[in-house]
Amino acid sequence: MSDLAAAATISIGMLSKIENGQVSTSLETLSKIAQALGVSLSHLFRHYNMPAGGAQLVKNGAGMEVVRRGTRRGHTYHLLAYDQGPRKVFEPFLITMDDASEVFPTFEHPGTEFIYMLKGKLEYRHGQQTYTLEPGDALTFRGDVPHGPERLLDLPIFFLSIILYGPQEQ
């Protein structure tokens, strides 16, 4: 405390009062304190008037398991965030596939879908085109065009699927 007061050229008593909110001080004095601390004045106020936030954390393995039409066997869908409010903005899923004999349904839904492959290899159909997806690959497409897995090539398969809905879609 005394080193900081000396470097900022203010008394220890004044520094203590500033720290405890007992006095108001000038920007010049705050600038001297910031300089003595080796930070910018803006750094001192980086959390001032910051919105509260309210992020949603879903811990590993705690995503709600969802059964999608036609995917009762060999598929596991874990919903990774839950919309609160009257309409969905997006739906993020972690999808696991581990049954090569599965017959796959075709999906159609509003919005845009983004897939990111984490593990395994699969052939994915969107409309008349098929795409081979491996770890690190990403595929983005319109959800209203028929789509879905065509063939599982290397099991197990894990991928993220994020459906983003527009202002009129739910």
The whole-angstrom separation of Cα 85 and Cα 77 is 22
Into how many domains does the chain fold?
2
Note whether 72 and 33 are same-domain residues.
Answer: no
The whole-angstrom separation of Cα 139 and Cα 109 is 16
Is residue 51 a part of any domain in this protein?
A: no
Predicted pLDDT of residue 51: 84
Confidence of residue 35 (pLDDT cuts 50, 70, 90): very high
Note whether 33 and 103 are same-domain residues.
Answer: no
Q: What mean pLDDT is predicted for residues 87-107?
A: 84
The whole-angstrom separation of Cα 114 and Cα 125 is 13
- Domain extent at residue 14: 2-44
Q: Which residues of 105-164 form beta strands (DSSP E)? A: 112-126, 129-133, 138-142, 147-164
Q: What mean pLDDT is predicted for residues 41-64?
A: 85
Is residue 96 a part of any domain in this protein?
A: yes
Most confidently predicted of 17-26, 46-55, 118-127: 118-127
Average pLDDT, the chain: 88
Helices of type H across 38-82: 41-44
User: Which structure tokens are listed for 139?
Assistant: 């595929």
